[in-house]
Amino acid sequence: MSEDTTYDVEAIRREFPLLDREVNGFPLVFLDSAASAQKPIVVIESQREYLSHFHSNIHRGVHALATQATEAFEGAREIIRAHFNATLTSEIIFTSGATDSINLVAGTWGRANLKQNSTVVLTRMEHHSNIVPWQILSDEIGFKIEVVELLSDGSLDMSQFRDKMALSPDLVCFTHVSNTLGTINDVKNLTSLAKAAGAIVLIDGAQSAPHIKVDLLDIGCDFFVASGHKMYGPTGIGFLYGKLDLLESMPPWKGGGEMISSVSFEERTTFNVPPYKFEAGTPHISGAIAFGAAINWLNKVGMEAITMHEHALTRYAHTELLKTPGLKIYGNAKEKAGVVSFLVEGTHPSDLGTLLDQLGIAVRTGHHCTEPLMTKLGIPGTVRASFAAYTTFAEIDVLTAGISRAVKMLN
């Protein structure tokens, strides 16, 4: 193994209480971080601190607790803005996660701007969250959805992508990192090509944000979405980044408190400015605060260090897993994040995953919410091992041995 000795993974693991537990009498080997990452103690404590000592509703209160809670909540918004290099905090909208964020764009910008003769371009590797909202809207409006296919290594077919741009699409949506294949798309180049074609660009960053540094100004996209729980934060919190001029032009999505400027039965109700126009009701206050704590934790460890560690893990996993007879890895793009999806000849992924669980090894099995991709590949699903800042090379060795043991039991 070629482990980076300057990266103290054992010190990092000590910050994650859950990693100490056993499953079925074996030490837990958690290789399902692409679904949801575990939480460091600083994130857990940030929620406890808020709930124990200054819980209050935010923004409109004048008392001390409301002020403290509002400052912490808005402080988290600024942490997100700075981390992703957005221009303004008003371009960061809190949502329940990446799925919620994409639905927000579809329900506001999409419904207001897409017409029957519009074209929306997606890719074969998209998560269902970046497919289904557009299909629902297409059923309502009647626009066409074009799909960019993949090359045999799991990378985008760039020749086909350019052909789709020649159709002058209104909207182009693509994932930054495939949750199934691990492919890292060159989003800056894709954005440039789409913008040159006159399109609005939405990027699904749910799988990139935990693993690589994202610079929104450098990328130049119009919308970007991510989820807190994949970035070591809580579930139920995420954000939508949108360029301010777009957000200002978009109609509200949900009605209620906070998103209004003035409400009247006699006069027309008027709406608040972004981001509040899109944040109706009491938000997930403790989640937002803890999301900010998670990003601070990521920056303490260092995004570049995490990226290098996970890339080394991925290379090692490819080398070791392919020693198993009949094992095939799906997703071999040159630029790849810490996701390894595979099948072993003669075994069903769910059977293999179940036997690995009996050995304390947590992996994900199935189509990973990328059913159109699996259909194209002609497979029912895969076993997916996914890595994080706390994953060790030794855990990959345990996985490799566990697969060999499970395959012998199944054959």
| DSSP, residue by residue, 282-350 | S--HHHHHHHHHHHHHHHHH-HHHHHHHHHHHHHHHHHHHTTSTTEEEE---SSB-SEEEEEETT--HH
Q: Take residue 273 and report the two structure tokens written for it.
A: 């400015």
- Residue 104 and residue 240 in contact, taking contact as beta carbons nearer than 8 Å: yes
CA distances from 325 to 322, 333, 335, 353, 408 (A): 7, 22, 25, 17, 11
Q: Take residue 189 and report the two structure tokens written for it.
A: 């180049």
- Residue 201 and residue 208 in contact, taking contact as beta carbons nearer than 8 Å: no
Catalytic residue of the set 308, 369, 379, 410? 369
**Active-site residue, 173 included:** no
d(CA 269, CA 192): 39
Q: Take residue 31 and report the two structure tokens written for it.
A: 């290789």
Query: Quick count: other Cβ atoms within 10 Å of Cβ 326?
Result: 11
- Residue 182 and residue 340 in contact, taking contact as beta carbons nearer than 8 Å: yes
* Span between the terminal Cα atoms of the chain, in Å: 29
What residues are labeled active site? Answer: 369
